[in-house]
Amino acid sequence: KRELLSFAQEQDCELSTVALAHVYFEKLVLRNVVNKINRKLMAAVSLVLAAKWNEPKVTATIFQMVEKHYAIPRAVIFRSEFSVYVELSFRLQLLPSEVYPHFVRLLQALERTPHEYLGEAQYQAYYAE
């Protein structure tokens, strides 16, 4: 999980994407898919799927960044992507209540508040609901 945060900081990735990746990764852990040998691959694939869902415009660059950061060839990520998608029961859309705790924890690690990170307008829009 620290790897995902360091990746986000290096690549200026959206924190909500990293929070989604955390949830996907945890779901894989709970399903006993992740082991010591494949954990970096599973984290990388979780991040790619999160980026595809949350930031579809940056998908091409996210592959390059993940490939470089994790030192995993793009072909391996592609091959693993569908099996991870299956393990997630084809459900990439998550409830805000599933993602928000991870988002807040990431912000705490960066020593920021949701209000600082989101800005006034986004913060008010989120909490108005």
Please say whether the beta carbons of 25 and 34 come within 8 A: yes
Per-residue pLDDT of the chain (129 residues; tens, 9 = 90+): 777 888 877 877 889 999 999 999 999 999 999 999 999 999 999 999 999 999 888 777 888 888 888 899 999 999 999 999 999 999 999 998 999 899 989 989 888 888 888 888 887 887 766
Distance CA 31, CA 11 (A): 29
Distance CA 76, CA 110 (A): 31
**Which CATH number belongs to the domain containing residue 71 in this structure?**
1.10.472
In this prediction, residue 63 carries a pLDDT of: 84
In this prediction, residue 129 carries a pLDDT of: 62
Question: Is 34 a member of any domain?
Answer: yes
Domain that holds residue 49: 2-92
Question: Is 12 a member of any domain?
Answer: yes
In this prediction, residue 22 carries a pLDDT of: 94
Domain count, the chain: 1
Single pTM value for the model: 0.86
Question: Is 38 a member of any domain?
Answer: yes
How many other C-beta atoms are found inside a 10 Å radius of the C-beta of residue 38?
A: 14
In this prediction, residue 66 carries a pLDDT of: 86
